[in-house]
A and B are shown apart, each in its own frame.
Chain A
């Protein structure tokens, strides 16, 4: 598709009315983009202001003086390091384990023969359609019965595999030519060896997409950690910041600094790997 210049057959259309419309729509599109970006810009700029200035001059966009005070104080005024660590352990752990289990199950569904395989595949598909609010209350009960409330295993284990991940990887594995693993099988490779040395390396792009998706989904998730954790020491960033934001003791600049830091890992990854974010979200539809 032509990108740098308009296709020839459209050239005739570039009359003054067309130009006028284009200008109007360009202004709208850029204006709306400014609206979309504004909360992020505001968050960043406010994190650099003093509490005094926020109260005396709330409409001021550009800080009078840039100071990084809030970024220093957040670590002492909140158990912020702990929240951050919890988010890393939860999102990182769930992502890592889920990639492993998802790919194992996907390999079995794509390559191995066993009784009940078709039913297993349909069950995976069926669970894709169920919103997790439906299962939240019984799962909470189960986690409670296991004495896992307010623990890492309570947060991670129910998230340690995903029907979506299994489905995505299974679809990918099915497209891998059978000749590859047939040859390895003749050479005496075990199934696990085939999974480990042939399938996984080939599936790297799909795994990357899935990793980004899982990490983002869990890092940002709010309702799940809100329900499963109860102590300040076990909260993740979104749930923890929300609880602290309701209190008067915390200053706005400090809160905005916390929001900025919690956004940073995804924002930086997004800069470098936008493709995987878009693919991950576009294929699931889950946000």
Chain B
């Protein structure tokens, strides 16, 4: 009885759709048609031959490979710098955390404005300094870096907050003992801080990877995957196929590739960190 409302909702809108999405990916399934032809693995075979899919996959992986290390390293440095309970550290932590709670789509509108070549302030400053404005969002080479920068702007505070919490659990006695042994601040950072944060670092890394593989909001708002698909990612491509072309089966196949990618990366990461634990 108590379980009923949640059980019904989770079954209808989460559990059943997982199975249905796999089922759809095996059909030539069009959103508004009554009959759907079973095609086996044809959708997946089509993906292998689809240059737009490979492009989206590559962009997603580049986005992830650049974003995650930067996010974790910057987040870690910020956490170490701001882990104290002084008022300025608390204030700066709030500043860094603020983008995390804001709507990414709405702030992506602001960012598109900031980077705009005609009315944007960054372009105006470049012009004043004697340079040509970059027009990053319409540049094949700069659009993806711009999207990455905005992603870091949004999420670096998340990593920082998790690591600050973990740092506060590191026993003071560890640092004290290291100082007595003559360890420099750098040595303490490498040999005391990093090992004590191992689990928190794993957690934030896995979360950052998963979130990066699912990147959508800022891409959709800032570039729509453009210019010429240079920022198209797996989820924006899935959206295009599923909700513009109404090719549900094909979009479901993309979603399953994304899911497998996420599972694979998570398992590899958990393994890697566990082995290091044993050493």
A interface residues with partner B (beta carbon < 8 Å):
1, 3-4, 7, 9-10, 13, 18, 25-26, 29-30, 32-33, 35-40, 42-43, 46, 54-55, 57-61, 101-102, 104-105, 107-109, 112, 114, 120, 123-124, 127, 130-131, 133-142, 144, 157-158, 160-161, 163, 166, 191, 195, 216, 219-220, 222-223, 226-227, 237-239, 241-242, 245, 252, 255-256, 259, 262-263, 266-267, 270, 274, 277-278, 281-282, 285, 287
Cβ contact of A37, chosen from B98, B128, B258, cutoff 8 A: B98
Quick one: given A220-B104, A223-B216, are A104 and B3 in contact (CB under 8 Å)?
Answer: yes
The dominant DSSP class at the B interface is helix
Interface 9-residue window, one of B37-45, B51-59, B110-118, B135-143: B110-118
> In the complex, what residue of chain B is closest to A160 when comparing beta carbons?
B9
The dominant DSSP class at the A interface is helix
Cross-chain contact B2 with A131 (CB below 8 angstroms): no
Listed by A's residue number, 22 A-B pairs whose Cβ atoms lie within 8 Å are: A3-B85, A3-B86, A33-B96, A36-B95, A40-B110, A42-B110, A58-B119, A109-B3, A130-B259, A133-B214, A133-B258, A138-B17, A222-B103, A223-B235, A227-B239, A238-B104, A245-B109, A255-B109, A266-B102, A281-B158, A285-B210, A287-B155
Report the minimal beta-carbon distance from A214 to chain B, rounded to whole angstroms.
13
Report the minimal beta-carbon distance from A61 to chain B, rounded to whole angstroms.
7
Cβ contact of A36, chosen from B31, B105, B157, cutoff 8 A: B157
The count of chain B contact residues (Cβ–Cβ below 8 Å) is: 95
B145 within 8 A of A: no
Quick one: given A39-B107, A137-B248, are A105 and B5 in contact (CB under 8 Å)?
Answer: yes
B interface residues with partner A (beta carbon < 8 Å):
1-3, 5-7, 9-10, 12-18, 20-21, 24, 31-32, 74, 78, 81-82, 84-86, 92, 94-114, 118-121, 123-125, 127-128, 153-158, 161-162, 165, 168, 172, 176, 179-180, 185, 203, 207, 210-211, 214, 216-217, 220-221, 235, 238-239, 242-243, 248, 251-252, 255-256, 258-259, 262
Cross-chain contact A108 with B14 (CB below 8 angstroms): no
Q: How far is the CA of A208 from the CA of B20 in the complex (A)?
A: 35
Cross-chain contact A141 with B31 (CB below 8 angstroms): yes
> In the complex, what residue of chain A is closest to B204 when comparing beta carbons?
A285
> In the complex, what residue of chain A is closest to B116 when comparing beta carbons?
A58
Report the minimal beta-carbon distance from B98 to chain A, rounded to whole angstroms.
7
Q: Please, which residues of chain B bring their CB within 8 A of the CB of A239? A: 105
Cross-chain contact A263 with B172 (CB below 8 angstroms): no
> In the complex, what residue of chain A is closest to B127 when comparing beta carbons?
A59
Report the minimal beta-carbon distance from A140 to chain B, rounded to whole angstroms.
7
> In the complex, what residue of chain B is closest to A266 when comparing beta carbons?
B101
Q: Please, which residues of chain B bring their CB within 8 A of the CB of A163? A: 10, 14
Q: Please, which residues of chain B bring their CB within 8 A of the CB of A255? A: 109, 113
Q: Please, which residues of chain B bring their CB within 8 A of the CB of A219? A: 103
Q: How far is the CA of A54 from the CA of B124 in the complex (A)?
A: 11
Q: Please, which residues of chain A bring their CB within 8 A of the CB of B203? A: 285
Cross-chain contact B158 with A287 (CB below 8 angstroms): yes
Cross-chain contact A18 with B185 (CB below 8 angstroms): yes
Report the minimal beta-carbon distance from B160 to chain A, rounded to whole angstroms.
10
